[in-house]
Structure 1
Amino acid sequence: MSGHGFHVHGPHDHELEHAAQHEPKGLAGQLAVITAILATVGAMFSYMGGATQANAGLYKNDAAIKKTEASNQWNYYQAKSSKQNLAELAAVLVTDDKRSKYLEEIERYKKEKVEIKDKAEALEKESAEFDHMSAEQMHQHHRWAQATTALQISIALAAIALLTKKRWMEAATIGVGVLGVLVGVAAWFHF
């Protein structure tokens, strides 16, 4: 190219300009579009996989906290049982004039133990519910991971198809990509 407006095109320059002015055609163009779509969907699936894994961890943590709280209640229940047992022993050993005090304590401990037991059982139930939610999230995480893996394989097949220029590899790319999307749909609907 000279400074006076005279411009010479080489064969390579002409092909580059032509490719830039027109939409991509043929195998390379199709694979570029397919790869871009697969990568975008794969990124969304990957995000969802990470989110469900994080949720599973949070639910598992909540389950452990509730289990610990339940354990504390059962320890409290056991302490009340020990006090009740001592009061029962004292009621047998003391004189009649002091026995009523211990009998009242026994009844109080019985009532307190019912409340403590109910609270402990409710906490155990909450813990089990959090464990169940964690397991569901992990199942869904595995589905998202499977979908993401299928899409990554599909992208790799697209690269192989581009290098080998084999149309059947393009079909394999699309097939594995569709499989990945279907597994992602299964993850979305919690299958």
Structure 2
Amino acid sequence: MSGHGFHVHGPHDHAVEHAAGHGHDKFSGNIAVTTAILATIGALFGYQGGATQNDAAMFKNNAAIAKTEAANRWNYYQAKSNKQNLAELAMTLPNVDPEKYKADVARYKAEKEEIKKEAESWEEKSHDWDKKSDNVLHQHHQWALATTAEQIAIALAAITLLTNRRWLLLSTYAVAVAGIALGVFAWLHIDPLGALFGAGGH
């Protein structure tokens, strides 16, 4: 980094620097190792959170594309319906051979059925992509919570180190374990709150 730049130190940086200045302090060394581990876990959780966010956006885009395709098919269906209606109307006009338009009516009906199936298929695809996007976005929120918990744990570890309040170490471990649990739930696609209230996982 250039000498004219600046660097913002995080809790982990302070913990490592403090431990380096107290090399014979086992407590400080343990805190430094703990914060390094938590920082690594937090980075992994953050990466997973970013990946799931990208997936959610991609799935939502796929849903929009499928919805557009469904709308195009329904417009085509409506155009065929209009042609069918005109052919049926022509059959009722005087001095017109109805047999001439009967084949057109039958053809439009058959074409409409095929177009309808395609439109419904695209609508179903759009619904499926939307559902996938919602599920992955929920998973992203779980990863974000897990990452935040690890960051809080690192901050608590830094406070523990700076204040030498050893009882704070228990809080650090408790928050870190909670964050890891949230990460495991996210990895397994489990919604702990949903499971608690009977909604089940995703």
- Relative to the length of structure 1, the TM-score reads 0.86
Indicate the residue corresponding to 1:12 in structure 2. Answer: none
The runs of at least 4 aligned residues of structure 1 exceeding 3 Å deviation read none
1:117 aligns to what?
116
Structure with bigger gyration radius: 1
- Tell me how far 1:24 sits from its aligned partner: 5.6
What secondary structure sits across from 1:93 in the alignment? coil
Identity of aligned residues (%): 56
Q: Which consecutive unaligned segments of at least 5 residues does structure 1 have?
A: 1-18
- Partner SS state of residue 92, structure 2: helix
Q: Give the whole-Å Cα distance in 2 for the aligned partners of 1:27 and 1:154.
A: 16
Q: Once the 2 structures are TM-superposed, how far is the Cα of residue 155 of structure 1 from its aligned partner?
A: 0.4
Structure 1 156/69 Cα, relative in aligned 2: closer, same or farther at 3 Å? same
Bigger shift: 140-149 or 26-35? 26-35
Q: Distance in 1 between matches of 2:95 and 2:27?
A: 101
| Structure 2: runs of 5 or more not aligned | 1-18, 191-202
| RMSD (CA atoms) | 1.6
1:1-191 correspondence runs (5 A): 25-96=25-96, 98-191=97-190
What's the TM-score once normalised by structure 2's chain length? 0.81
3-state secondary structure, aligned to 2:189: coil
Please tell me the residue identity of whatever aligns with 2:121.
A
Q: State the AA in 2 paired with 1:100.
A: E
* d(CA) in 1 for partners of 2:94, 2:101: 9
State the SS of the aligned residue for 2:118: helix
Aligned-partner Cα distance in 2 for 1:120–1:102: 26
Size of the alignment, in residue pairs?
A: 171
Instruction: Report how far residue 25 of structure 1 moved.
Output: 4.3
* Structure with more helix by fraction: 1
